[in-house]
Structure 1
């Protein structure tokens, strides 16, 4: 029997992905993983080369997952084992490695929330070629609060620059997360336009968090997962995920740092934001460009 095809959460960084993935991963038929990032290259050797230097933290999710699945723990020793596990598969395609992880967790279904997947169409095409029947949850956050969250988090401005989210019409250029928000949402929508309707779902993160019972049930029924009050209660406790805490030295991330420090879901009303007005991260008083406003409105924001 083939392992179940994974579920990919497609979203910009700082769009509630760590929280939502951990919540879905608490379903008894699912396995929520940290950011695997695997599909950014063709082979595992290329992947390891890319995840070096200042990108080394993007390897943490895979290391933690391998350590947990094959050693049953995340420790300095199991992370060393995970490095050896990777080194023996350098000639494998990332698809082969990912399928091996799917088989390891089967009959559970992997839930993956790596934001880097939505950075370019080639990565998404690589996913589809490997998993033609995979499901995709398009999780979106208002561009104002997403941008402000990114700019406020430690390393957020560096991340924005890494994604080339810069307004070069100013002197000096202005780091502005709205540009990457627009590119990533456009890339996701373009990719999903070719995906069969039953394999994709769009949800605003704010509405999901404001009414988790309603939207978690919708997502579960879309995925053909079972549903009852006991399952809901489990999903409301993302802190029970083995990845909902800082990992050992050398692999301490893999999820959003703020989530790792405080992973519990808390009932609170997420206040709607606005598309008009100046942006808090800009000193020149400018607001959203027209393209961002139009796309945000199409996605359900005002």
Structure 2
């Protein structure tokens, strides 16, 4: 008789809120297997997903290819990436949620963990997640909108292309406005969680993960019914030894959020640490402060 496979754990967060970092921490737990971002729910089937990946020049596929290469073919070499791509091309009619469940079965007895800062921007993606994996456990990860905004804006300064979801189109030309994806993502996540049983989801603040006591990680492990002894928690505090830490092979180097791949300057980090919900935001060309909806939601998350 085969052992039942535990439902995957999905880390849902706004962009630049620490989803990849938390995945790296959880990926160091002996009972968990954390992947890069998979972007599975951009489409209902694998064939449609591959079409979207091709239109977007392929980078959105890297996390899925790296995870599939590691779990199905044993490594993340360019050859294994090619095999992973072929594996997907042979299953174009497969629902994308079934790919996640296949990865969960390959990771067993370790429980699959998936970071996701893309699906929260789109309610349809979240709906596919909840419909195709109805027993999924969700960690709603939040970060102070000032810190998230400073980091996103610093990253965007060095980019020729910035996603339209990150811009305020009331300006000509449109300007990067981090609080738009922050509010949209967290609002969409909350709407999803309202439809799920209370025991199926948990909110976690990114800032609490840096506490020396590691209490937030211990509480999360207890919620997931995992061991949380001091040695295990100590190993989880540094995700640099995680299987997917850093860049992947040349044919699939990405799959993690930029904040864990590209270091910020000391000045950017200093500014991000000066959190406040009032006054002008440093990234705004015409300082207006945070939107009232952002302030209200941030206060509900315990930020001041």
TM-score, length basis structure 1: 0.91
The alignment status of 1:119 with 2:121, answered yes or no, reads yes
8 A contact 1:157–1:175 mirrored in 2: no
Is contact 2:13-2:117 (8 Å) kept?
yes
Cα separation, 2, equivalents of 1:180 and 1:229: 36
Residue number in structure 1 paired with 2:42: 40
**What is the alpha-carbon distance in structure 2 between the residues aligned to residue 14 and residue 55 of structure 1?**
22
- Alpha-carbon distance, 1:195 to partner: 1.4
Shift of 1:105: 0.8
Q: Deviations over 1:48-95 (max 9, x none)?
A: 111124352110001111111122211111111111111111111112
For the residue of structure 2 that corresponds to 1:287, the secondary structure is coil
SS at match of 1:113: strand
Shift of 1:237: 2.6
Separation of aligned partners in 2, 1:279 and 1:197: 35
How far did 1:167 drift?
Answer: 2.6
Unaligned runs of 5+ in 1: 263-267
Q: How many residues are matched?
A: 296
Map 1:135-214 → 2, pairs under 5 A: 135-153=137-155, 161-163=163-165, 165-211=166-212, 213-214=214-215
- Tell me the CA shift for residue 166 of structure 1: 2.9
Q: In 2, distance between residues paired with 1:169 and 1:273?
A: 26
1:158 deviates by 6.7
Please list, as runs of the form range in 1=range in 2, the aligned pairs for 1:246-257 lying within 5 A after superposition: 246-257=247-258
Please say if residues 10 and 139 of structure 1, whose CA atoms lie closer than 8 Å, have aligned partners that are also in contact: yes
Q: Secondary structure at the match of 1:42?
A: coil
SS at match of 1:153: helix
Corresponding position of 1:265: none
Q: SS at the partner of 2:93? A: coil
| Inter-partner Cα distance in structure 2 for 1:100 and 1:157 | 35
Corresponding residue of 1:50: 52
Farther-moved stretch of structure 1 (211-220 vs 49-58): 49-58
* 2:147 and 2:273 in contact (8 A); partners too: no
Distance 2:160 2:17 in 1: 17
Displacement of 1:103 after TM fit?
A: 0.8
Unaligned runs of 5+ in 2: 264-268
TM score, norm. by length of structure 2: 0.91
Taking the aligned partners of 1:82 and 1:138, their CA distance within structure 2 comes to 29
Q: CA RMSD in A?
A: 2.1
Q: Deviating runs (4+, > 6 A) in structure 1?
A: 155-159
- Measured after TM superposition, the shift of residue 156 of structure 1 is 7.5
Match of 2:136 in 1: 134
Q: CA deviation at 1:274?
A: 0.2
Q: Retained in 1: the 8 A contact 2:120–2:126?
A: yes
Structure 2: distance between partners of 1:272 and 1:194: 35
Distance 1:89 1:289 in 2: 45
